[in-house]
Structure 1
């Protein structure tokens, strides 16, 4: 069994989908959490392209959340049965990440006036645009994002649910019952439920 070490900040955000996947697969990993204020400035130059999360596999370092999730999805047989399945699942995961990035840019904006403008666009345009389409995908695919069965895109979305709520300061699924049922199904998986119960409690 490979030795896994995940290095990311001491919060959920982009590290959480990877943690969900390890939990789903029942695979032990070192959850190396970095204090952003105290540790990150010194650590950043040593990270690939100055970014996290990074995953070490037997001492070799790999970066970028989505490729890591795809790799783990393949290891745990939830990345699609065919290449076209994998293409579709990866496209969904990337689109979920696009929404996360748009929400993060508004949330992190330091200028109060610009932040207000970005947040208004996010809530009135970006958020419903993505969520309505995600809702339709899940309704049309038997309660999952693809093929009527669990994929790493479902775990990716569920893992970011709490993060989305913080970024938008609302329950993002209150008007989207199919998505809510999907997240509930993921969180009812025994190993995921175990992880959620024991993970460190963080805001984002």
Structure 2
């Protein structure tokens, strides 16, 4: 059996979708969490000096979406055909666009930019959540194909992180999104991961 090791920081962020996907697929993995103090030692060892990085039998692979897509293909949540895969990729990229908008505001280090970035982030948050809710309404409560795909898992995995940045439950007022989050978090393998993951601020 291949060995898997995920390297990321000790919070949810972009590492959490990979952790959710590995857990969903039933793949045992080493969850290596790097502290801020340790990061300068790790950085030059990563392919693009960024994380998350997934090692499979010692070989390093970067880019969170590419890693998640690889695992999705192995666990039958990447759609029945190329059109479903296209729809799933579109949904995932839109969810990731929202995460990026929120992160631009939350991790901004220029105080003079904060009001503008915050206004845009929360405007886009409402826009995206309304659009996602509408998509779920016509897809039987899921992002694509009226069934669970890795787009649903991806959204659920980022829920806590984006809610922390927004300082509120982002699914409040969006019942279909709340249902997706709850369903994914109650999948046996993911539920087990969540019960045992370290408690972190984000």
Q: List 4+ stretches of structure 1 deviating above 6 A.
A: none
In the alignment, does 2:26 pair up with 1:26?
yes
What runs of 5+ residues in structure 1 fail to find an aligned partner? none
Describe the superposition over 1:51-95 as per-residue Cα deviations: whole angstroms up to 9, x where unpaired: 100011111111100010000001011011111111111111111
Q: SS at the partner of 1:56?
A: strand
> Corresponding residue for 1:169?
167
CA distance in 1: counterparts of 2:82 and 2:120, whole angstroms:
36
* 1:53-202 → structure 2 map (5 Å cutoff): 53-123=52-122, 125-202=123-200
What's the TM-score, normalizing by structure 2? 0.97
Kept after mapping to 1: 8 A contact 2:46/2:60 = no
Report if aligned partners of 2:153, 2:184 keep a CA contact under 8 Å in 1. yes
Number of positions where the alignment pairs a residue of Structure 1 with one of Structure 2: 202
Question: Counterpart of 1:78 in 2: which secondary structure?
Answer: coil
Equivalent in the alignment of 1:11: 11
Task: Please report how far the alpha carbon of residue 121 of structure 1 lies from its aligned counterpart in structure 2 after TM superposition.
Answer: 2.0
Measured in 2, the distance between the counterparts of 1:63 and 1:174 equals 33
Q: Secondary structure at the match of 1:48?
A: coil
